[in-house]
Amino acid sequence: MKKIIPYALLLLILGCGAAQSDPTTQKGIPSGPAGVKGSVGTVEKTGINAVPSGNTAPGEMFSDQRRVSDIMDFLASDALNGRDSGSPGIEKAAQYIEGVFEENGVMPYFKTYKDTLSNFNEPAYNIIGILEGTDPDLKNEMVLIGAHYDHIGTKRAVMGDTIANGANDNASGTTTVLEIMRYFSGAKTNKRSLVFAFFSAEEKGLLGSKHLAERLKEKEFNLYTMMNFEMVGVPMKDKGYLAYLTGYQMSNMAEVCNKYAQDKVVGFLPTAKEFNLFMRSDNYPFHQEFNVPSQTFSTFDFTNFDHYHKVGDENSEMDFEHMAQLINTFIPIIEGVANGAEQEIKYN
Give the model's pLDDT for residue 51.
Answer: 33
DSSP state of 307: -
* From 16-20, 179-183, 256-260, 299-303, the region with the lowest mean pLDDT: 16-20
Residue 206 CA to residue 199 CA, distance in Å, equals: 8
Is residue 1 over pLDDT 90? no
Give the model's pLDDT for residue 15.
Answer: 46
Is residue 41 over pLDDT 80? no
Q: Tell me: the pLDDT tens digits for 110-166?
A: 999 999 999 999 999 999 999 999 999 999 999 999 999 999 999 999 999 999 999
* From 129-133, 235-239, 247-251, 282-286, the region with the lowest mean pLDDT: 235-239
Give the model's pLDDT for residue 305.
Answer: 86
Give the model's pLDDT for residue 36.
Answer: 31
Give the model's pLDDT for residue 30.
Answer: 34
Residue 285 CA to residue 280 CA, distance in Å, equals: 10
- Total H helices, total E strands in the chain: 9, 11
* Average pLDDT of the residues in 203-210: 98
- Report the share of the chain in percent with pLDDT over 90: 81
Across-strand partners of 235? none
Give the model's pLDDT for residue 61.
Answer: 80
**Closest CA relative to residue 223, chosen from 337, 105, 62, 126:** 337
Give the model's pLDDT for residue 117.
Answer: 98
Across-strand partners of 251? 347
Is residue 47 over pLDDT 60? no
**Closest CA relative to residue 199, chosen from 283, 105, 143:** 283
Q: Alpha helices, DSSP H only, in 165-206?
A: 172-187
Mean pLDDT of the chain: 86
Q: Output the pTM of the full model.
A: 0.85
Q: Tell me: the pLDDT tens digits for 66-103?
A: 999 999 999 999 999 999 999 999 999 999 999 999 99
* Average pLDDT of the residues in 172-188: 97
* Average pLDDT of the residues in 239-252: 97
Give the model's pLDDT for residue 238.
Answer: 92
Give the model's pLDDT for residue 40.
Answer: 25
Residue 125 CA to residue 90 CA, distance in Å, equals: 9
Of 313 and 27, more confident: 313
Please state whether the peptide bond connecting residue 283 to the residue before it is cis, i.e. omega within 30 degrees of 0.
Answer: no
- Report the share of the chain in percent with pLDDT over 70: 83
